[in-house]
Amino acid sequence: MKKLILSAAILLGGLSMQAGNTVLTTTTVNSINYQDDYKEVDAVPAAIKKSLDDAYPGVKLDKAYVNSKKEYKIEITVRGEKSIVYTDGTGNILKK
């Protein structure tokens, strides 16, 4: 008789565990891409040319772009390697 009661208790206990609540977790990731609008220009100020010549001897300016904050994005070639340099209007090289 003890075995019958014990097995019934185990069976009922197992059934009640299957009726547990399920927790659903949702994670959302919001990303904002901010891009300054650079517009291509034909010429750059002499101060920028001088600072690039001082920093990178033998530099060749390929293209230049300017944004609304008067920051310049300049595509250069130094010894066959292409690179992009950011400067302000006075020729200070910016870290971006």
DSSP notation for 41-68: ES---HHHHHHHHHHSTT-EEEEEEE-T
pLDDT value of position 33: 62
The listed CATH number (3.30.9, 3.90.1690, 3.10.450, 1.10.3470) that belongs to domain 38-96: 3.10.450
Prediction pTM value:
0.60
Ranges of each domain in the chain: 38-96
Cα torsion 54, 57, 62, 67 to 10°: value is -20
H or E element, residue 5: helix 2-17
pLDDT in tens, 31-84: 766 666 889 999 999 999 999 999 999 999 999 999 988 999 999 999 999 999
